[in-house]
Amino acid sequence: MPVLRPGTTTSRRSHIAAAGALLAALSLLIALPGAASADATAVPDRGTARMGQGVIAHDGRQTGDTTGTDAVQTEGVDVSSHQGNVAWSTLWNSGVKWAYVKATEGTYYKNTYFTQQYTGSYNVGMIRGTYHFATPDTTSGAAQANYFVDNGGGWSRDGRTLPGVLDIEWNPYGAACYGKTQAGMVAWIRDFVNTYKARTGRDAVIYTATSWWKDCTGNNSGFGATNPLWVARYNTTVGELPAGWSYYTMWQYTSSGPTVGDHNHFNGALDRVVALANG
Protein backbone atom coordinates (compact mmCIF):
# COMPACT_ATOMS: atom_id res chain seq x y z
CA MET A 1 0.00 0.00 0.00
CA PRO A 2 1.50 3.39 -0.96
CA VAL A 3 2.20 5.95 1.81
CA LEU A 4 -0.08 9.00 1.60
CA ARG A 5 1.68 12.33 1.23
CA PRO A 6 0.28 15.76 2.26
CA GLY A 7 -1.65 17.21 -0.61
CA THR A 8 -3.10 13.90 -1.84
CA THR A 9 -6.83 13.55 -2.36
CA THR A 10 -7.28 11.26 0.67
CA SER A 11 -5.44 13.68 2.95
CA ARG A 12 -7.56 16.62 1.82
CA ARG A 13 -10.72 14.62 2.46
CA SER A 14 -9.55 13.90 6.01
CA HIS A 15 -8.98 17.62 6.70
CA ILE A 16 -12.36 18.54 5.25
CA ALA A 17 -14.08 15.89 7.37
CA ALA A 18 -12.37 17.16 10.53
CA ALA A 19 -13.35 20.76 9.78
CA GLY A 20 -16.94 19.70 9.18
CA ALA A 21 -17.07 17.92 12.51
CA LEU A 22 -15.78 21.03 14.28
CA LEU A 23 -18.37 23.26 12.60
CA ALA A 24 -21.12 20.84 13.55
CA ALA A 25 -20.01 20.89 17.17
CA LEU A 26 -19.97 24.70 17.22
CA SER A 27 -23.44 24.83 15.66
CA LEU A 28 -24.76 22.47 18.32
CA LEU A 29 -23.27 24.63 21.09
CA ILE A 30 -24.86 27.77 19.69
CA ALA A 31 -28.21 26.00 19.40
CA LEU A 32 -28.23 24.81 23.00
CA PRO A 33 -30.86 26.62 25.12
CA GLY A 34 -29.28 29.47 27.10
CA ALA A 35 -25.87 29.20 25.44
CA ALA A 36 -26.10 32.57 23.73
CA SER A 37 -27.67 34.33 26.73
CA ALA A 38 -25.60 32.94 29.59
CA ASP A 39 -23.94 36.29 30.30
CA ALA A 40 -27.25 38.16 30.12
CA THR A 41 -28.83 35.98 32.83
CA ALA A 42 -25.82 35.73 35.12
CA VAL A 43 -26.40 36.69 38.75
CA PRO A 44 -24.63 40.01 39.45
CA ASP A 45 -22.02 40.45 42.15
CA ARG A 46 -23.27 41.28 45.63
CA GLY A 47 -23.25 45.01 46.22
CA THR A 48 -23.79 46.01 42.61
CA ALA A 49 -27.58 46.34 42.84
CA ARG A 50 -28.99 49.76 42.06
CA MET A 51 -32.32 51.49 42.27
CA GLY A 52 -34.69 50.28 39.55
CA GLN A 53 -32.42 47.48 38.36
CA GLY A 54 -35.31 45.08 37.82
CA VAL A 55 -37.95 47.49 36.53
CA ILE A 56 -37.48 46.94 32.79
CA ALA A 57 -37.24 43.16 33.07
CA HIS A 58 -40.28 42.79 35.32
CA ASP A 59 -42.41 45.86 34.65
CA GLY A 60 -41.47 46.90 31.11
CA ARG A 61 -40.68 50.30 29.67
CA GLN A 62 -42.52 52.74 27.46
CA THR A 63 -40.69 55.84 26.29
CA GLY A 64 -42.27 59.20 25.70
CA ASP A 65 -42.82 62.65 27.14
CA THR A 66 -43.62 62.64 30.86
CA THR A 67 -43.21 66.34 31.53
CA GLY A 68 -46.87 67.26 31.31
CA THR A 69 -48.27 64.75 33.78
CA ASP A 70 -48.45 67.20 36.70
CA ALA A 71 -48.72 70.97 36.93
CA VAL A 72 -45.32 71.46 38.55
CA GLN A 73 -42.50 68.93 38.93
CA THR A 74 -38.86 69.19 39.92
CA GLU A 75 -36.24 67.07 38.19
CA GLY A 76 -33.96 64.77 40.16
CA VAL A 77 -31.57 61.86 39.69
CA ASP A 78 -30.46 58.80 41.62
CA VAL A 79 -26.97 57.35 41.40
CA SER A 80 -24.83 54.49 42.70
CA SER A 81 -21.32 53.17 42.13
CA HIS A 82 -22.64 52.11 38.70
CA GLN A 83 -22.31 55.76 37.59
CA GLY A 84 -18.82 56.29 39.06
CA ASN A 85 -17.76 59.93 39.28
CA VAL A 86 -20.80 61.99 38.32
CA ALA A 87 -20.71 65.26 36.33
CA TRP A 88 -22.80 67.17 38.86
CA SER A 89 -22.35 70.60 37.31
CA THR A 90 -23.65 69.25 34.00
CA LEU A 91 -26.74 67.88 35.71
CA TRP A 92 -27.30 71.08 37.66
CA ASN A 93 -27.05 73.19 34.51
CA SER A 94 -29.57 70.90 32.80
CA GLY A 95 -32.16 71.61 35.48
CA VAL A 96 -31.64 68.76 37.96
CA LYS A 97 -32.14 70.15 41.48
CA TRP A 98 -32.14 67.11 43.76
CA ALA A 99 -30.37 63.77 43.98
CA TYR A 100 -30.30 60.51 45.89
CA VAL A 101 -27.08 58.56 46.30
CA LYS A 102 -26.84 54.87 47.16
CA ALA A 103 -25.14 54.54 50.54
CA THR A 104 -25.46 50.89 51.48
CA GLU A 105 -26.77 47.45 50.62
CA GLY A 106 -27.64 44.73 53.11
CA THR A 107 -25.11 44.88 55.95
CA TYR A 108 -22.15 44.08 53.70
CA TYR A 109 -21.70 46.89 51.16
CA LYS A 110 -20.95 50.63 51.13
CA ASN A 111 -20.91 52.67 47.92
CA THR A 112 -17.27 53.16 46.88
CA TYR A 113 -18.14 56.44 45.12
CA PHE A 114 -20.23 57.79 47.99
CA THR A 115 -18.08 60.82 48.84
CA GLN A 116 -17.81 62.11 45.26
CA GLN A 117 -21.51 61.64 44.66
CA TYR A 118 -22.94 62.85 47.98
CA THR A 119 -20.58 65.78 48.46
CA GLY A 120 -20.46 66.64 44.78
CA SER A 121 -24.23 67.00 44.47
CA TYR A 122 -24.29 69.22 47.57
CA ASN A 123 -21.44 71.40 46.32
CA VAL A 124 -23.29 72.37 43.12
CA GLY A 125 -26.36 73.38 45.11
CA MET A 126 -28.56 70.28 45.02
CA ILE A 127 -30.75 69.02 47.82
CA ARG A 128 -29.63 65.44 48.30
CA GLY A 129 -30.22 62.30 50.32
CA THR A 130 -29.19 58.66 50.43
CA TYR A 131 -30.81 55.29 49.84
CA HIS A 132 -30.35 51.74 51.06
CA PHE A 133 -30.80 48.74 48.76
CA ALA A 134 -32.64 46.18 50.87
CA THR A 135 -31.79 42.48 50.89
CA PRO A 136 -34.40 41.02 53.26
CA ASP A 137 -32.98 37.51 52.92
CA THR A 138 -29.60 38.39 54.49
CA THR A 139 -30.29 40.21 57.78
CA SER A 140 -33.19 41.79 59.67
CA GLY A 141 -34.82 45.09 58.81
CA ALA A 142 -33.51 46.62 62.04
CA ALA A 143 -29.95 45.49 61.33
CA GLN A 144 -30.04 46.99 57.84
CA ALA A 145 -31.58 50.26 59.05
CA ASN A 146 -28.82 50.62 61.63
CA TYR A 147 -26.15 49.81 59.05
CA PHE A 148 -27.64 52.41 56.73
CA VAL A 149 -27.74 55.16 59.37
CA ASP A 150 -24.20 54.35 60.49
CA ASN A 151 -22.83 54.54 56.94
CA GLY A 152 -24.29 57.64 55.31
CA GLY A 153 -28.02 57.26 55.87
CA GLY A 154 -28.45 59.82 58.62
CA TRP A 155 -30.47 63.02 58.45
CA SER A 156 -30.10 66.62 59.64
CA ARG A 157 -32.48 69.56 59.40
CA ASP A 158 -30.27 71.80 57.29
CA GLY A 159 -32.69 72.28 54.40
CA ARG A 160 -30.38 70.36 52.07
CA THR A 161 -30.65 66.78 53.37
CA LEU A 162 -33.56 64.56 52.31
CA PRO A 163 -34.79 61.68 54.49
CA GLY A 164 -33.33 58.24 53.83
CA VAL A 165 -34.92 55.86 51.34
CA LEU A 166 -35.65 52.16 51.68
CA ASP A 167 -35.18 50.75 48.17
CA ILE A 168 -37.32 47.58 48.24
CA GLU A 169 -37.75 45.87 44.88
CA TRP A 170 -36.93 42.74 42.87
CA ASN A 171 -34.07 40.66 44.18
CA PRO A 172 -31.26 40.74 41.58
CA TYR A 173 -29.51 37.82 43.27
CA GLY A 174 -32.32 35.28 43.54
CA ALA A 175 -36.06 34.87 44.17
CA ALA A 176 -37.95 38.11 43.48
CA CYS A 177 -39.46 38.31 46.97
CA TYR A 178 -36.30 37.14 48.75
CA GLY A 179 -37.94 33.91 49.84
CA LYS A 180 -40.35 35.70 52.17
CA THR A 181 -44.09 35.34 52.51
CA GLN A 182 -46.13 38.49 51.99
CA ALA A 183 -46.67 38.81 55.74
CA GLY A 184 -42.99 38.22 56.35
CA MET A 185 -42.04 40.94 53.88
CA VAL A 186 -44.40 43.45 55.49
CA ALA A 187 -42.91 42.65 58.89
CA TRP A 188 -39.38 43.13 57.53
CA ILE A 189 -40.24 46.52 56.02
CA ARG A 190 -41.93 47.59 59.25
CA ASP A 191 -38.84 46.59 61.20
CA PHE A 192 -36.67 48.75 58.92
CA VAL A 193 -38.81 51.89 58.89
CA ASN A 194 -39.48 51.78 62.64
CA THR A 195 -35.77 51.47 63.38
CA TYR A 196 -34.90 54.23 60.93
CA LYS A 197 -37.37 56.60 62.55
CA ALA A 198 -36.10 55.75 66.03
CA ARG A 199 -32.55 56.56 64.91
CA THR A 200 -33.22 59.73 62.87
CA GLY A 201 -36.64 61.09 63.84
CA ARG A 202 -37.76 60.85 60.21
CA ASP A 203 -40.06 58.47 58.37
CA ALA A 204 -38.09 56.78 55.60
CA VAL A 205 -39.23 57.17 52.01
CA ILE A 206 -40.23 53.85 50.44
CA TYR A 207 -39.06 53.26 46.87
CA THR A 208 -40.81 50.42 45.08
CA ALA A 209 -42.76 49.40 41.97
CA THR A 210 -46.48 48.73 42.13
CA SER A 211 -46.24 45.27 40.57
CA TRP A 212 -43.51 44.19 43.01
CA TRP A 213 -45.45 45.60 45.96
CA LYS A 214 -48.52 43.64 44.93
CA ASP A 215 -46.63 40.39 44.48
CA CYS A 216 -44.39 40.57 47.54
CA THR A 217 -46.48 42.39 50.17
CA GLY A 218 -49.96 41.43 48.99
CA ASN A 219 -50.48 45.13 48.14
CA ASN A 220 -50.28 46.07 51.82
CA SER A 221 -51.79 49.47 52.59
CA GLY A 222 -50.19 50.03 55.97
CA PHE A 223 -47.38 52.45 55.04
CA GLY A 224 -49.12 55.17 53.04
CA ALA A 225 -50.06 57.32 56.03
CA THR A 226 -46.47 57.67 57.27
CA ASN A 227 -43.89 56.92 54.58
CA PRO A 228 -43.58 59.05 51.43
CA LEU A 229 -43.78 57.03 48.22
CA TRP A 230 -41.13 56.96 45.50
CA VAL A 231 -42.62 54.85 42.73
CA ALA A 232 -40.80 53.29 39.78
CA ARG A 233 -42.69 53.24 36.49
CA TYR A 234 -40.94 53.68 33.14
CA ASN A 235 -43.89 55.00 31.20
CA THR A 236 -45.52 58.21 30.03
CA THR A 237 -47.82 58.22 33.08
CA VAL A 238 -47.17 57.04 36.61
CA GLY A 239 -50.06 54.56 36.47
CA GLU A 240 -51.52 52.68 39.41
CA LEU A 241 -49.92 53.32 42.79
CA PRO A 242 -49.43 50.72 45.53
CA ALA A 243 -52.26 50.42 48.05
CA GLY A 244 -52.27 52.99 50.84
CA TRP A 245 -50.86 55.87 48.79
CA SER A 246 -53.20 58.30 47.03
CA TYR A 247 -50.31 60.23 45.48
CA TYR A 248 -46.58 59.83 44.91
CA THR A 249 -43.86 62.09 46.25
CA MET A 250 -41.28 61.05 43.66
CA TRP A 251 -41.52 59.10 40.43
CA GLN A 252 -38.60 57.36 38.73
CA TYR A 253 -39.78 57.59 35.15
CA THR A 254 -36.74 56.47 33.15
CA SER A 255 -33.42 54.66 33.36
CA SER A 256 -32.12 56.22 30.14
CA GLY A 257 -32.03 59.93 30.87
CA PRO A 258 -29.22 62.38 30.01
CA THR A 259 -25.85 62.40 31.85
CA VAL A 260 -26.96 59.66 34.23
CA GLY A 261 -29.69 57.21 33.33
CA ASP A 262 -32.06 57.30 36.29
CA HIS A 263 -34.19 60.44 36.23
CA ASN A 264 -37.11 61.32 38.46
CA HIS A 265 -39.92 63.82 38.93
CA PHE A 266 -40.62 65.30 42.34
CA ASN A 267 -44.35 65.90 42.64
CA GLY A 268 -44.18 69.64 43.28
CA ALA A 269 -42.04 72.74 42.94
CA LEU A 270 -38.59 73.15 44.48
CA ASP A 271 -40.03 74.59 47.70
CA ARG A 272 -41.77 71.26 48.27
CA VAL A 273 -38.42 69.44 47.92
CA VAL A 274 -37.08 71.79 50.60
CA ALA A 275 -40.14 71.06 52.74
CA LEU A 276 -39.43 67.32 52.57
CA ALA A 277 -35.82 67.98 53.50
CA ASN A 278 -36.90 69.99 56.53
CA GLY A 279 -39.46 67.48 57.67
The verdict on 81 and 217 lying in the same domain is yes
- Given a cut of 60, whether residue 28 has pLDDT beyond it is no
The verdict on 136 and 157 lying in the same domain is yes
pLDDT the model gives residue 47: 80
Count of the separate structural domains present in the chain: 2
pLDDT the model gives residue 61: 53
Which residue of the set 59, 105, 169, 203 is catalytic?
169
The whole domain housing 163 covers 55-278
The verdict on 103 and 219 lying in the same domain is yes
Give the number of residues written for the chain: 279
Degrees, nearest 5: CA angle 118-122-126:
115
Instruction: Specify if 71 maps to a domain.
Output: yes
Instruction: Specify if 8 maps to a domain.
Output: yes
The verdict on 221 and 86 lying in the same domain is yes
The verdict on 118 and 241 lying in the same domain is yes
The verdict on 36 and 90 lying in the same domain is no
- Domain of residue 262, CATH code: 3.20.20.80
Q: Is 188 exposed, middle or buried (0-12, 13-18, 19+ CB in 10 A)?
A: buried
The verdict on 88 and 158 lying in the same domain is yes
More confident residue, 15 or 152: 152
The verdict on 115 and 188 lying in the same domain is yes
Query: Which among 138, 172, 133 has a CA at the least distance from the CA of 54?
Result: 172
Which residue of the set 59, 167, 203, 262 is catalytic?
167
The verdict on 18 and 112 lying in the same domain is no
Instruction: Specify if 146 maps to a domain.
Output: yes
More confident residue, 53 or 178: 178
Mean pLDDT of the chain: 86
Instruction: Specify if 49 maps to a domain.
Output: no
Active-site annotation holds for 158? no
Q: What's the pLDDT tens digit per position in 90-105?
A: 999 999 999 999 999 9
Active-site annotation holds for 75? no
Separation between Cα atoms, residue 172 and residue 170, nearest integer Å: 6
Instruction: Specify if 47 maps to a domain.
Output: no
The structure's pTM equals: 0.80
6 pLDDT band (50/70/90 cuts)? very low
Q: What's the pLDDT tens digit per position in 130-153?
A: 999 999 999 999 999 999 999 999
Instruction: Specify if 145 maps to a domain.
Output: yes
Which residue of the set 45, 59, 70, 78 is catalytic?
78
Active-site annotation holds for 169? yes
The 3-class secondary structure across 176-206, one letter per residue, is CCCCCCHHHHHHHHHHHHHHHHHHHCCCCEE
The verdict on 83 and 27 lying in the same domain is no
Instruction: Specify if 50 maps to a domain.
Output: no
The verdict on 29 and 68 lying in the same domain is no
Instruction: Specify if 255 maps to a domain.
Output: yes
The verdict on 29 and 64 lying in the same domain is no
